[in-house]
Amino acid sequence: MKKLFAKKNRACIDKDKLPRHIAIIMDGNGRWAKKRGLARSAGHYAGSERFRSAAKYLQKLGVEHFTVYAFSTENWKRPKEEVDGIFSLLEKYLYEAINDLKDDNIVLSFWGDISPLSPKLIELIEETNELSKKNNGMHVNICLNYGGRAEITRAVKSIANDCAAGVLNPDDISDEVIENRLYSKNTPPPDLLIRPGGETRISNFLLWQLAYSEMVFTDTLWPDLTDDKLEEIIISFQQRNRRFGGL
């Protein structure tokens, strides 16, 4: 049995029982900044750096899929200055990712409706997606202008159009048919959802995919959720008995 040992006298991660897919709601950036007397933009910068570090840690660990909630369909309600700052950070990250993708061997994908974004950001996303096709490492999915209800509505409309066109028989609609219309097509559902920041809700995130996911809610703010704390959460996950509705 392969095991990755943690600090001395502590439990260890069982490499044979790693979650294939970890999803994180990156919450608490603004409060992290406020606690330090900083602008909210500083919190988003700290959160973006934490994301980069977490992705590298999970890839090294052997996790196959990593999905993060970066910007929801509801986040447009925030002040324009904050929204602009978030997208500016994303643009900076993508410029760097384009140079690093080959070395990191990460498959980077974006889930959500990117049509309202700036032409420059859309161009960067498309370029990143194209470069990612050459990689075969960990899949990192960034949920951007994403909402779980909007994703399901989009899938239902697609199915309805095919039924109206006679391409699909309504009797043939199944879970698999629906899943193939979601952004997460060909991606296993998350084994583990982590939400830092102290809130205990999923906030319209991956509503279909989280049906049987294990969930961990922590008061730790996202920029403070270190690799050591991620390690503790994964060890806790491995001690759970997942029954998927059975005994």
CA distance 36 to 57: 26
- Residue 214's DSSP bridge partners are 192
DSSP state, residue 237:
H
From 9, 14, 27, 129, active-site residue: 27
- Annotation marks residue 113 as catalytic: no
C-alpha distances out from residue 194 to 10, 48, 229, Å: 21, 16, 11
- Annotation marks residue 27 as catalytic: yes
Name the residue among 230, 235, 206, 204 with its Cα closest to residue 218.
230
Question: Between the CA atoms of 29, 35, 41 and 44, what dihedral angle is there, to the nearest 10 degrees?
Answer: -20
CA distance 19 to 13: 11
From 16, 29, 75, 171, active-site residue: 75
Q: Which residues are marked as active site?
A: 27, 75
